[in-house]
Amino acid sequence: MSELPDLLQTADFKSEKHVPVIACPDSVTAGEAFEVSVGVGKEVDHPNTTEHHIRWIRLYFHPEGGKVPYEVANVEFTAHGESAQGANEGPVTTHHAAKVMMKTNQPGTLLALSYCNIHGLWRSNKALAVV
């Protein structure tokens, strides 16, 4: 049986379209809100079709020295061009990116997971300093 860590894939987002990309300041002020953007396909576009799409992105914060990460956001992308007329005939698709406002008093690591319906789970992380 596979273990979850064995199923999490990672790569350089500049050459791999499945890696979630976290964009935020490298350092933030304790207790002040800041914006975190997370998306898939920054440098290499990921398809968004009925047959091949990003289903969701989850963002976590793991405080430095902490035992567990905390879920910050869970974004589901539910429209991929499907319709009663057939695959990719629908009037709407969602784009696999989101922005979240958050605060923290501790330094740590932001972790992002994304799920592609064909290629599985992908992860990335970004260190966050607090001043």
Could you tell me the CA-to-CA distances from 34 to 46, 67, 95, 128 in Å, in that order? Answer: 27, 24, 22, 11
The residue from 14, 16, 80, 126 that is catalytic is 16
The residue from 42, 62, 119, 126 that is catalytic is 119
Is 32 known to be catalytic? Answer: no
Q: How many CB atoms lie within 10 A of CB 86?
A: 10
DSSP-derived secondary structure letter, 87: T
Is 116 known to be catalytic? Answer: yes
Angstrom distance (rounded) from CA 113 to CA 131: 27
Is 18 known to be catalytic? Answer: yes
- 4 in helix, strand or coil? helix
Is 24 known to be catalytic? Answer: no
The residue from 32, 43, 51, 52 that is catalytic is 52
- 10 in helix, strand or coil? coil
The residue from 18, 53, 80, 96 that is catalytic is 18
The residue from 17, 53, 80, 96 that is catalytic is 17
Is 17 known to be catalytic? Answer: yes
Q: Kindly list the catalytic residues.
A: 16-18, 46, 52, 116, 119
